[in-house]
Structure 1
Amino acid sequence: MIRKMLVIAATAMVMVQGSAFAQETIKLGLINFDAGPFAVFAPFVKDGATLAVETLNAQGGALGRKYELVTQYHSGAPATAIAAATRLAEQQGVSFIAGLSSSSTSLALSPKLSAMNVLFLDSTAASDDLTGKNCQKNYFRVGLNDTTFINGVRALLKDSGTKSWDLFMGDYALGHDYAKRFTALVQENGGTVQKTLFVSPSVADVGSYISQLLVKPADGLMVLAPGTAGIVLAKQQQPFGLFAKYKSVFSVFSTNETIIAAQGDATAGMLTPQSYFWSMPGARNAAFVKAFEARFNRKPTFVDADTYLSFELLNQAILKAKSTDVAAVRTALAGLKAATIAGDVEMRAADHQLLRSLVITQATKVGDGKGDLTLKSVESMAKISPELNTECKM
Structure 2
Amino acid sequence: MEHLPEEWRIDKVLEFIKYRAKLVVRLVIIRPDQTKWYGTGYVSKFDGQYVISTNNHVIRNDKEAKRCLIEFNYDSEDRSNVIQCEGTGLLETSELLDKTLISFLPIPRMIQELDLVEDSLFMPDVMAVNQNGTQERSNALTMPYKVNDCPLLAIPHCFDLNKLTDITIPFFDGTRSELASNFIKFQPIPEILMAVNPAGEYLAPTATVRMLDDNNQIRTATGTVEKISDQICICLPKPLTEQEAKKCQIQFADGSISTGIGVYFKNTTLFTANIKGLDMDFKHMLNTGGFEALKLATTPFWMVPFKPPPKDVIDHLNLQDELSAHCPIKTVVIVGHPHGWRKMVTFGRDLGINLDLTGGEYRCSVSYTGKTCPGSSGSPVLYLRSFRCYIHHGGQRAGEYGTEIVETSNVNKAWWWKQYLTTLFLKR
Q: Please confirm whether the aligned pair reaches a TM-score higher than 0.5, indicating the same fold.
A: no
User: Which is helix-richer, 1 or 2?
Assistant: 1
